[in-house]
Structure formats: C-alpha cells, structure tokens
C-alpha cells in the first residue's frame, strides 16, 4: 500500500466531474475505495472502486473513462483497474438529500440566489419558445449556470429547438436529472409523454407538473432559471405566478398591433401575482432584403407600443430570419451562429439580462425588526 500515491490518485480523481450532477465524483461518494498495489511484473497499479448512482447510468462509460484517465495521469501509476458497481439505495438517498442541502422543498424561493426569468406572450406563434431557447443558450455562453423549464405544457417545443428531441431525464432515487443541451439543463413535459401524444390536462394536474419540475428536478446551483411559459393567461401562468412570485417576466410580441394588445394582458396577469415585468422583446421585426430595403411582414410598432403601455423597456428587436427558423427546425440555436442578425439581437438581449442582475422584487430585504 502506498499512501501518498493513493492520495495523489484521489487528488486527480477530484477533477473528474459527473456530467449530470456537475460535481466531482469524489464529493459524490462515488469512489468508496482507492488502492495502490504492486501489479504483475513489478508495476504499480491503481485499483479504484467506482459506484455509479443508478443502474444503467447514461454517463457510465464517460465517467469510467474519465476516472481511468485521471488515475493513469498520476506519476508513478503504471496500470489502472476500475471496478464499477452501483450505490445501494441508502447511500443514494443520502447523497441526493445532501445535494439538495436537506431541502425537499422547492429550491427557487425568493431568497435563493437563482434569478428566475419567465418568458411569456399573449398568443401563440410569436416565437416565444424560439426566443426562450436561444436566450437560455446565450446566457450559458456568458458563463452563467442556466436551467430551462419548458412549461408550455400543451405546445412543448424546447427539446426540438435545442436538438434533444427524444432525450429522457435520468432518475436518481426521487430526483430527476435533466438532460443538458448547449450547456443548459433542460426539462420539458415532452420528455415524459409519448412522442406525438397530446397533453390534455386540467388545472390541478398542470399545477402539480410545474411544482414537480421545480421541486423534483435536480438542477444543482443555478444562476438563472429560464421558463418558457405557455401563451396567454391560463392555469400554468397562474401556477407559476403562485410558485415563483419573484420571477422576472419578459413579454414577447410581434410588431403587429393585434399581438401587442394580447401581450399586455399576459403581463398584467404576471403583475397580479407579484412578478416583475422587466421588458418586452419584439420578434419577427423587419427583414432586411439583399437590396437594403426592409420587409415589414408583420408591420411595425408592436414592441414599442407594448413596452410603452407596460412602462418597461423594449429589450430587443429580433428581425425575421430564415436562419433563426432553420436553426429551430434543426435543433441548432441561432445564437451559436455569429453571422445572423437575429442571433446577434438575442445575444444582446442575453447581455442586457445578465447585466441587469437580480432586482429586489419579492426578495426579503433582511431588515432586522426592532
Ligand atoms: N424571428 C423569426 N424569424 C423567422 N421565423 C421565426 C422567428 N421567430 C420564430 N420563428 C418561427 O415561428 C414559428 C413559431 O415560433 P415558436 O414556436 O417559437 O412560437 P411560440 O410563440 O413559442 O409558439 P407557441 O407558444 O404556440 O409554442 C416557428 O416555426 C419559428 O421557427
């Protein structure tokens, strides 16, 4: 037994990160034992016990490979043997409880450090989900830890927009591990229902689903949680309002006057629940043609009009863009493409949102009563 080499192997393993839990495997009770022994022909062999959180862990191969490589990098280690097993239930439950800080309750409370940004619209088809998916990816590109909840239960489209259609969350005990795409942890009702199935739930079921997404999904520590709201002012909007009264709301509208009218209503519902409307995004704004003229397919003025009526800033004007639409169809967010004007507008939106920081809305002020 070589104690200092064992310590060196452990130190190297502490840099192996579980891709789902986003923590070092050594902090996750996944490495119960490291032994350094003399191998055949006088070599020095590291023997590592690796305990995965669940049977059939989708990241198993990657974790095992990373563990093997990390141990092999240690000076003085000639061979590595990894014995892969699975945690017993007690260890797993204790781990999940520890990760959640002992909290079985919703972590996104007003006093948490995670900003919640709900993206809403008055009516469907204005590009709310496309803007939300791109905004989340652009915020992650700023180095923020970002989660995304697709609360558009009846019209979920986020998995497709991010190129993870068919991805399933992993269950670790009671906790649900969200799939990741473009550095964003994503959960959607689309991951739980059969492909092509229509969701036709009533209010209490919708409320429970939103609650479960907020409570049972393990997002880890997030800087920002972005929520793709269903269009309009229905049950989900009210549930999110009750569960997340401190959320900041972005209203998406088109330049059309009729869209601006209904957009205002969704903002009013948000305000009634105590949420703060931080601004408006005008989507499908004028498209610059090759000859330099601007095609205003949906008219103009809807964004400014909505912002003025709500007394909030117009945060971005996102032009009509073939690239944005194609990117959505292909699951490649346009913000990853430097050349597109719509992508640039959403990146600027993300920069403005990131700059804004978290306001005091719904937050305990920490004033000591006298
Ligand atoms: N700026 C844009 N330029 C071109 N096409 C766009 C733009 N924004 C969105 N689209 C397209 O418009 C359609 C509707 O977009 P999206 O699904 O994001 O709308 P939505 O408001 O979320 O709708 P719903 O709430 O009904 O799900 C999609 O096909 C999308 O690719």
Mean pLDDT in residue range 185-213: 76
In this prediction, residue 108 carries a pLDDT of: 85
| Residue 302 marked in a binding site | no
Is the reported ipTM for this assembly greater than 0.90? Answer: yes
227-265: pLDDT as tens digits: 999 887 677 888 888 889 899 999 999 999 877 778 888
77 and 184 share one domain: no
- In angstroms, the CA 276 to CA 96 distance is 33
From the CB of 126, is ligand 1 less than 6 Å away?
yes
69 and 179 share one domain: no
Residue 363 lies in a domain: no
| Residue 186 marked in a binding site | no
From the CB of 343, is ligand 1 less than 6 Å away?
no
Residue 366 lies in a domain: no
From the CB of 169, is ligand 1 less than 6 Å away?
no
From the CB of 259, is ligand 1 less than 6 Å away?
no
Sorting pLDDT into bands at 50, 70 and 90, what band is 287?
confident
Residue 105 lies in a domain: no
158 and 297 share one domain: yes
CA–centroid distance, residue 152 to ligand 1 (Å): 13
| Residue 82 marked in a binding site | no
- Look at residues 196, 224, 201, 223 and name the one whose alpha carbon lies nearest to residue 212: 201
From the CB of 155, is ligand 1 less than 6 Å away?
yes
Q: Look up the CATH number of the domain holding residue 88.
A: 3.30.300.130
> Phi/psi of residue 306, each to 5°?
-65, -45
- In angstroms, the CA 57 to CA 60 distance is 5
In this prediction, residue 101 carries a pLDDT of: 67
Domain end marker among 72, 99, 126: 99
62 and 135 share one domain: no
Helix axes 341-356, 128-141, angle to 10 degrees: 60
* Residue 33 · residue 48 · CB < 8 Å: yes
Give residue 239's domain range: 115-356
271 and 340 share one domain: yes
10 and 123 share one domain: no
Most confident of 62-66, 218-222, 265-269: 62-66
In this prediction, residue 363 carries a pLDDT of: 43
| Residue 56 marked in a binding site | no
In this prediction, residue 297 carries a pLDDT of: 83
Q: Which atom of ligand 1 is nearest to the CA of 228?
A: 22
Domain end marker among 43, 71, 99: 99
* Residue 54 · residue 45 · CB < 8 Å: no
Residue 367: pLDDT over 60: no
The Cα-based distances of 310 to 186, 226, 292 in angstroms read 30, 21, 33
134 and 87 share one domain: no
- Look at residues 356, 307, 342 and name the one whose alpha carbon lies nearest to residue 127: 342
Domain end marker among 43, 75, 99: 99
263 and 301 share one domain: yes
How many structural domains does the chain have? 2
- In angstroms, the CA 318 to CA 346 distance is 7
């Amino acid at each position: 037994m070589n104690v200092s080499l064992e310590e060196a192997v452990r130190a190297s393993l502490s840099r192996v990160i579980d891709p789902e839990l986003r923590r070092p495997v050594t902090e996750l009770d996944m490495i119960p034992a490291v032994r350094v022994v003399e191998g055949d022909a006088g070599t020095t062999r590291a023997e590592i016990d690796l305990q995965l959180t669940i049977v059939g862990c989708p990241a198993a191969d990657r974790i095992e490979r990373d563990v093997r490589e990390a141990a092999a990098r240690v000076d003085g280690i000639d061979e590595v043997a990894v014995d892969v097993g699975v945690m017993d239930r007690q260890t797993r439950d204790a781990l999940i409880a520890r990760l959640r800080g002992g909290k079985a309750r919703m972590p996104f409370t007003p006093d948490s450090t995670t900003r919640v940004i709900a993206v809403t619209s008055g009516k469907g088809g204005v590009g709310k989900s496309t803007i939300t998916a791109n905004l989340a990816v652009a915020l992650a590109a700023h180095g923020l830890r970002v989660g995304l909840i697709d609360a558009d239960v009846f019209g979920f489209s986020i998995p497709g927009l991010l190129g993870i259609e068919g991805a399933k969350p992993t269950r670790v005990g009671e906790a649900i591990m969200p799939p990741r795409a473009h550095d964003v942890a994503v959960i959607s009702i689309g991951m739980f229902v059969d492909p092509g199935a229509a969701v036709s739930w009533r209010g209490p079921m919708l409320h429970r689903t939103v609650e479960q997404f907020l409570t049972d999904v393990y997002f880890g520590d997030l800087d920002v949680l972005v929520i793709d709201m269903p269009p309009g002012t229905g049950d989900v909007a009210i549930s999110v309002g009750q569960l997340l009264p401190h959320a900041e709301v972005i209203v998406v509208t088109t330049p059309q006057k009729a869209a601006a009218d209904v957009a205002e209503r969704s903002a009013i519902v948000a305000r009634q629940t105590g949420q703060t409307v931080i601004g408006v995004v005008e989507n499908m704004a004028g498209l610059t043609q090759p000859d330099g003229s601007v095609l205003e397919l949906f008219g103009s003025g809807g964004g400014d009009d909505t912002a003025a009526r709500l007394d909030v800033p117009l945060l971005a004007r996102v032009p009509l863009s073939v690239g944005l639409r194609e990117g959505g169809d292909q699951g490649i967010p346009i913000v990853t493409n430097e050349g597109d004007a719509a992508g640039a507008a959403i990146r600027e939106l993300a920069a403005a949102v990131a700059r804004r920081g978290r306001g005091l809305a719904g937050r305990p002020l920490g004033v000591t009563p006298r």
